[in-house]
A = this chain, B = another copy of it.
Amino acid sequence: MSETVVPIAVGPARPDPTLLIKAIGEGGATVADLAEARALIWAGGPQEFPQRLPASIEWVQLPAAGIEDWFEAGVIDRFPGVRFTSAAGAFAHSVAEHTLMLLLAGVRYLPEQLRATSWRQQDFFPHVGTLRGKTVTIVGAGGIGRALIPMLTPLGAHVIAVNRSGTPVTGPDIPESVETVPADQLGKVWSRTDHVVIAAPATAATRHLLGADELARLKPSSWVVNVARGSLIDTDALVAALATGAIAGAGLDVTDPEPLPDDHPLWTLPNAIVTPHDSNPPQLRLAAFADHVAANVARFVANQDLLAPIDPTRGY
């Protein structure tokens, strides 16, 4: 803790800054007007960002995880003497929790059980599965994939994490049992996979990463969960695999096309769970941003390295 109070400003006036004001206090600083502040916590968009900042501002916290828009708007280049941080990593938890929910609901046969209006215990018994002893392949080991791993392993699942480089995924929350496989070896993983989670960025290389061939190599008991972007799955091939029972089901927070049109078969297939890209809704996003702000303010006050620093020369 510093001896003197560290003044930090919040802007803009909307959305309601109450949570952020609280976070600044939790981080050990005090809220001040921009003119007297040493840092600015910004919760708005790039277009409304101040054209000028007082010379006293040393650090700006932006509210987004991906900050391409901020570079394009010139915000970061406009203030070469100021340190900028993004909210990268702050929003992964909610999406990972949603992923776990979709996977568990599928594996334990919740959709059909929710439709029941009578006690169909003997019908349902053989369909109730477990993640214990099963292998979950997570394609994409970024923030969401990494946040999901420590939620899966206490359930007894074995995790295969797939990333571009194959550099082992490690960290204080990552059990040593996690296997890392480079993306170019993905074809060798399907035969060992029980369930698939798609959490990789949408690029030309990941488009239709899960298509008819890959789906055919999964099991009749496999669930596929997509929380990344709809384009990573070949939707027509997925619909066919769901309709024929080639796989057990799919939990989709993202679709292709998106929004999913009203007459799309994914709405009515009994083994498809669709949530309308709501795995990180605004109120959870704001709460997660506030937690990130509290942590970064505490680091600023203690003169420690900040979380998610933006390197203006690299553009991220």
Q: Which residues on A are within 8 Å of B, measured CB to CB? A: 93-94, 97-98, 100-101, 104-105, 108, 110-111, 113-114, 116-121, 124-126, 128-133, 150-151, 154-156, 173, 258-260, 262, 267-268, 273-279, 281-284, 287
Determine the chain B residues whose CB is within 8 A of the CB of A273 once the complex forms.
110, 113-114
14 more contacts with CB within 8 A, not counting A110-B110, A121-B259, are A97-B104, A97-B108, A97-B132, A105-B105, A105-B110, A113-B278, A116-B267, A124-B278, A125-B281, A125-B283, A128-B278, A128-B284, A130-B284, A154-B173
A172 to chain B, nearest CB (A): 12
6 pairs, A vs B, C-beta closer than 8 Å: A111-B114, A118-B267, A119-B260, A125-B281, A125-B283, A133-B287
Q: How far is the CA of A126 from the CA of B273 in the complex (A)?
A: 19
Q: Give the residue name and chain of the B residue nearest to A152 (CB).
A: B154
A173 to chain B, nearest CB (A): 8
Q: Is the pair A94, B130 in contact by a Cβ cutoff of 8 Å?
A: yes
| Most chain B beta carbons < 10 A, residue from A101, A129, A133 | A101
Determine the chain B residues whose CB is within 8 A of the CB of A156 once the complex forms.
93
Q: State which of B110, B114, B128, B151 has its C-beta within 8 Å of the C-beta of A155.
A: B151
Q: Is the pair A274, B97 in contact by a Cβ cutoff of 8 Å?
A: no
Determine the chain B residues whose CB is within 8 A of the CB of A111 once the complex forms.
114
A81 to chain B, nearest CB (A): 36
